[in-house]
Chains A and B, each alone.
Chain A
Amino acid sequence: MEKTWNNKAWFLVLPVLVLVAFSAVIPLMTVVNYSVQDTFGNNQFFWAGTDWFVEILTSPRFWDALWRNLVFSAVILAIEVPLGILIALNMPKHGPGVPVCLVLMALPLLIPWNVVGTIWQVFGRVDIGLLGYFLNSLGISYNYTQNTAHAWATVIVMDVWHWTSLVVLLCYAGLVSIPDAYYQAARIDGASRWSVFRHIQLPKMKRVLLIAVLLRFMDSFMIYTEPFVVTGGGPGNSTTFLSIDLVKMAIGQFDLGPAAAMSIIYFLIILLMSWVFYTVMTQSDAEQS
């Protein structure tokens, strides 16, 4: 059969093309443009080729930030996922406790990110913060502005406080979709608590759990606002994650070329990670068929 070409189709998809061009393609191309040139202002550009990419990929500063960020993501996933499952398992499924729990769980998610940062920044302060003052008066010397371990602990606890709810709500949605007959059958079959979790609850939560892990990984890998507000990346560079480093480079030092190169590398890393997650998820689905 002969295909009919109708050029009106281009006209119909034009609005979307324009939208995508302005929101994604043009900004991305601008970044690509910056990443291969050097400028000293005055809108004068000099060709730099792959110099900036080489510079970023050989700088310990980039690798340190990347490593810190990976460790951070791994730690918060290792805490938030099991904790989220545990809380979801213990939430009531019927009765007046349900809306109360859901609202409590949703609260941290409703707070703007910079406000979360500010809350913890104040909370942890040694002079006026409830947590900081209290810990120090107990004789525990705690100061997140000076001690690397304390800074990390604060940022991690803050993230757990902020985002565990997301894992909880997703898992809870999976759990409430399990019909009562499953639990009754398990009781009749004499299944242990662990068997019920392993063979009934976990399989039902698997899909939402993968989504939760994906979302939490992406979010924590791009984390900026909260640690920026609390520690500003310090003490030293100890909590300088990739985004913070990028902003320092681009806005703080106005090194547009290296910053653009780093943006592209950062973007490619996230793209790669998303692809890995996507593959893992679809493969575990394919296994079921």
Chain B
Amino acid sequence: MARISLEHIRHAYSPRAKAAGDYALKEVHHEWEDGGAYALLGPSGCGKTTLLNIISGLLQPSDGRILFDGKDVTQLSTEERNIAQVFQFPVVYDTMTVFDNLAFPLRNRKVPEAEVEKRVNEILEMTDLAGMAKRRAQRLTADQKQKISLGRGLVRANVNAILFDEPLTVIDPHMKWVLRSQLKRLHRQSRFTMVYVTHDQTEALTFADKVVVMHDGQIVQIGTPAELFERPSHTFVGYFIGSPGMNFMPASVDGAMARVGDQTIALANAPALKGEGRIELGIRPEFIKLGRDGMPVTVNKVEDIGRQKIVRATFCGQPLSIVLAEDDDIPTDAKVSFDQHAIGIFSDSWRVENQSSGQGG
């Protein structure tokens, strides 16, 4: 178990990278707390797996250093870093039995056989594979294969961290839920530092204490699920977290007033704008009220998704999504009003903090 520090890590797959665009991973400077459960969330190709492989040592970063508990491990191999990693694609050694598969990482490290027996049996119990321990690991379902893969990641007792690279992609939805809660429980028991890569926001938000959102090779926000939802620091986080995503519309700001089209919207505080950026006003569909008071809006479509209704509307020429409870009425001459405290102002895609709060943007 270790605190993992990434110091100015950058990575390019081509050795001749110069421009920022050549880097698959732009500068990452971040500390992973000892015993934390992190999710790395982002779309495919955003650099999540690259970052994970750099931590585990499968990749050498082009620039920067990695420290485990303050000790530089940048040049160390995967074995020396003592890290467990589970891959998206299940890896099973089909010449061995299921038991031997799970024992493999321990036996390679010369763990005494009695200890191997004990650890493997625990994992077999946890992953529900006890019934097939003596079977050769062949002709297994995708679920079973991935459970073996997961088990090999979890079987070692003294790892610095366990890394998961979209481990549940091939697993069916029900089993996904079960395995995820087992992982969560395991984390609470063992306090391993865990980093979990996924592109599924539900998975990230349920597994992790802290979610790290990545976009285009860089970390755009690190926060608890609630922070990501309520105060996205980048328009990408707004889009990516939540369903439907946050509404963004071009705006201009004058003090504590924002103008969208020909409408003026009062803000709770004056944002601390610096310089001339492209200004956008953002609001989550959950914080918009549809009623008889407020600003004019045109309702285009209503999607009923069970316990909620999603209203697709046009506001000042901009598309606007609104989430309503199932039994809320939609008046014929509908007007909208925004919850003042839920409005965010974004300059060049980054959130602008309020003047009074004194935080940096």
Interface-facing stretch out of A10-18, A64-72, A190-198: A190-198
B149 to A, closest residue via Cβ: A185
CA distance A195 to B104 in the complex (A): 10
A288 to B, closest residue via Cβ: B138
CB distance from A170 to the nearest CB of B (A): 20
Interface-facing stretch out of B33-41, B82-90, B344-352: B82-90
Determine the chain B residues whose CB is within 8 A of the CB of A202 once the complex forms. 95
Majority SS at the chain A contact face: helix
CB distance from A94 to the nearest CB of B (A): 12
CA distance A184 to B53 in the complex (A): 10
With beta carbons under 8 angstroms apart, the residue of A188, A195, A199, A289 that contacts B56 is A188
B83 to A, closest residue via Cβ: A188
Q: Is the CB of A184 within 8 A of B108?
A: no
With beta carbons under 8 angstroms apart, the residue of A190, A198, A288 that contacts B79 is A190
- Interface of chain A residues 176 through 204 with chain B (CB within 8 A): 179, 181-182, 184-192, 195, 198-200, 202-203
Knowing A184-B58, A187-B58, A187-B78, say if A199 contacts B95 (CB, 8 Å): yes
CA distance A188 to B350 in the complex (A): 38
Determine the chain A residues whose CB is within 8 A of the CB of B105 once the complex forms. 188-190
User: Which of A181, A188, A191, A202 has the most C-beta atoms of chain B within 10 angstroms of its own C-beta?
Assistant: A188
Flag whether B266 is at the interface (Cβ < 8 A): no
Knowing A188-B78, A190-B105, A191-B104, say if A179 contacts B89 (CB, 8 Å): yes
CA distance A191 to B107 in the complex (A): 9
Q: Is the CB of B91 within 8 A of A187?
A: no
Knowing A184-B87, A199-B95, A203-B94, say if A189 contacts B58 (CB, 8 Å): no
CA distance A288 to B58 in the complex (A): 32
With beta carbons under 8 angstroms apart, the residue of A179, A188, A191, A195 that contacts B85 is A188
CA distance A188 to B108 in the complex (A): 10
Q: Is the CB of B109 within 8 A of A182?
A: no
CA distance A182 to B84 in the complex (A): 14
A204 to B, closest residue via Cβ: B94
* CB<8 Å pairs between A and B, sample of 15: A181-B87, A184-B85, A184-B87, A185-B149, A188-B56, A188-B78, A188-B83, A188-B85, A188-B153, A190-B109, A191-B108, A195-B104, A199-B96, A200-B93, A203-B95
B-side residues, CB < 8 A to A, are: 53, 56, 58, 77-79, 83-85, 87-89, 91, 93-96, 104-105, 108-109, 136, 138-139, 149, 152-153
- A188-B105, A199-B93 known; 13 new pairs, CB 8 Å cut-off, are A181-B89, A184-B58, A184-B85, A185-B85, A185-B87, A185-B91, A185-B152, A188-B56, A188-B84, A188-B85, A190-B108, A190-B109, A199-B104
